[in-house]
Amino acid sequence: MYDNILIPVIFDDNHDTAKSFEVAKTLGSKAAKYTILHVLEDIPNYVNVEIPASTLAEARKHALDSLNDIAKAIPSAKAELIDGYSGRSIVNYANDNHIDCIVMASHQLGLSDIFLGSTAAKVVRHAKCSVHVIR
C-alpha cells in the first residue's frame, strides 16, 4: 500500500481519469494522501507575448477550478497546478514531494510514441518511485 500518491490528469477525452482514481484508491493505504496534478505546458515566448495576460489568467483559473472539482472524487485529495513540460515536471514534482506512487492514464501507443515518447513513457523511465500506467 502506498501513502503518498500522485495522479497526473490531462483535460481531454483520451485519458481515463476515473480509472486512474479507482486504481489509486485501491493502491492507497487507509491514511493515503492523494495529489491531483495538472501541468500547464510552457508557452514559447514568441507566442506568449501575443496572448493577453487576462486570457492566460482566465485559463489558469479555469484549470485550477476543474482540478478542484476533480479532486472531490477522492477523500483527502488536493489539487496542484504547475507549469512546465509534462513528463519532466511530473517526475520533478514526485521527487520534490516524496511521492511513493504515480498513477496515470495513457493513450494507446502509436508510431510517433516510439520515436518521440509519450508523457507516460517519460515518467516511467525517469521516476524514482512506482508508476502505474492505466490504459
Q: What is the pLDDT of residues 101-128, one digit of tens each?
A: 999 988 655 555 554 458 888 999 999 9
List the one residue out of 9, 2, 3, 4 whose CA is nearest residue 105.
9
pTM over 0.85? The answer is: yes
What domain range is 126 assigned to? Answer: 2-134
Tell me the three cell numbers of residue 57: 489568467
For the domain that residue 105 is a member of, what is the CATH number? Answer: 3.40.50.620
- Rounded to whole angstroms, the Cα distance separating 99 from 93 reads 8
What is the number of domains present in the chain? 1
Q: What is the pLDDT of residues 42-77, one digit of tens each?
A: 888 888 889 898 998 999 999 999 999 999 988 889
